[in-house]
Structure 1
Amino acid sequence: MAIITRLSRLLRADLNAMLDRLEAPELVLAQAVREMEQAQALEQARLRRLEQEAARNEQRQAEIEQRLAQHQDALEDCLAAGQDDLARAVLRRKLEAERALARLNQSADENNRARTQCQARLSEQDNRLNDLRARAAVFETDASNIGGEDVDFASAASDSPPIRDADIEIALLQAKRQQEAAA
């Protein structure tokens, strides 16, 4: 039995030594660096997409805020003229714009969180990549001495309930109260 155990141990040792020689550690390290660079390129592309989406959201927010100001002016004109029917229509558009702005703000918050996470992953990947490159450089110098790594946020728009007539009536009463308080 002892001879079989010793032979078995000898064969495993020879097999492991042969596999170590076939594995070529410098090639494994070079492949790991390439894979890390690819992962980092993908993460950078994702970050660019998130930044573009943030810019589009900011532009949309500015447009909606401008429309809100126009609706407020129109509402004040309608209330001053005693045109409640027109005021209701303006209030509907104003409420829709306010809801759209709220959705965009929520989308912007989600985008900011995603960008922060993406930047953290990029930083971590950069550190690991630098570490792998340093290991590869050390290995290469040793070898030369011896032998010479997308929110849609538009989906949030479908979550909003429709504006009801009761919402418009409440907004009309509030606008009248604000106008009376201002007068």
Structure 2
Amino acid sequence: MALLERVSTLLRANLNDLIEKAEDPERLLKQLVLDMENQLMQVKTQVAIAIADQHLLERKRSEHEQEVAEWKRKAELAVAKGHDDLARGALERSLSVERLAKGFAQQAEDQKLEADTLRQTLRKLDQKLNETRAQCEILMAEHRRTKIVGRATQARQTVGVTQDAALGRMKSRVRQHAAENAAAGEILAPETLEDKFQSLEEHEQVELMLGEIKARTALPVPGRE
């Protein structure tokens, strides 16, 4: 009965509920299949034992029924020979053996019912095991795919952040180089016509200012008083 209760528990198992509650669904599914395989082997063993016991009980019943028939034959022989006492003893013996034969017949019938129940349980468990294996393969594939997709998503997010940072640094460097190039271009650019006139005007202005300073601070000409 304990075996049948364990089998019944496995047959009623809801994979989705078990997976939702499990920390490691893939490990749980593998363990569930292993448990069902072990239970299946035990049920097969019990079925074989039950069938063997049934055959043994049926053989005992048949043997006792044959013995009953033999004692009745002896009783008839004793009556035919005029030995009523022997006939009575043979009939009493036939009744005793007949009771044993009926007992073995009842046990054989009960054993047959038990064997049939175990056979049905074995078929159900075997079917459930095949279904569970297929479902486990599907669920484990989904679980692995979910983990792979999660890792890929995380990788894309990480790459995206890294890429954005790299692009930001690249843009900053490009702008800095552009500014440096512009400054260098301004320094190294050839002098334009406007620049030349502006330089000439500034030179003339400097000369005028210098003349004014000399006029204000003019020293006496040597030889004059």
TM-score by length of 2: 0.52
Residue 47 of structure 1 corresponds to: 47
Identity of aligned residues (%): 27
Counterpart mapping for 1:142-181 below 5 A? 142-143=142-143, 145=145, 147=148
Whose relative contact order is higher, 1 or 2, with alpha carbons under 8 Å and at least 6 apart? 1
Residue 214 of structure 2 corresponds to: none
Structure 1 or 2, whichever has the larger Rg, is 2
Residue 71 of structure 1 corresponds to: 71
Q: Distance in 1 between matches of 2:80 and 2:23?
A: 84
Q: Any unmatched runs of 5+ in structure 2?
A: 1-19, 149-225
Query: Cα 1:117–1:101, aligned 2, differ >3 Å: closer, same or farther?
Result: same
1:144: how far off?
Answer: 5.4
* Cα displacement string for residues 126-163 of structure 1 (whole angstroms, at most 9, x for unaligned residues): 2221121011111333355564xxxxxxxxxxxxxxxx
TM-score by length of 1: 0.63
Q: Secondary structure at the match of 1:23?
A: coil
Q: Distance in 2 between matches of 1:102 and 1:21?
A: 54
* Cα displacement string for residues 91-141 of structure 1 (whole angstroms, at most 9, x for unaligned residues): 121011111110011011101111111112112212221121011111333
Q: Secondary structure at the match of 1:115?
A: helix
1:84 maps to a residue whose letter is D
1:120 equivalenced with 2:120 (yes/no): yes
Query: Cα 1:81–1:145, aligned 2, differ >3 Å: closer, same or farther?
Result: same
Q: Distance in 2 between matches of 1:78 and 1:70?
A: 12
RMSD in angstroms over aligned alpha carbons? 2.2
Q: Any unmatched runs of 5+ in structure 1?
A: 1-19, 148-183
User: How many matched pairs?
Assistant: 129
Q: Secondary structure at the match of 1:65?
A: helix
Contact 2:58 2:105 in 1 (8 A): no
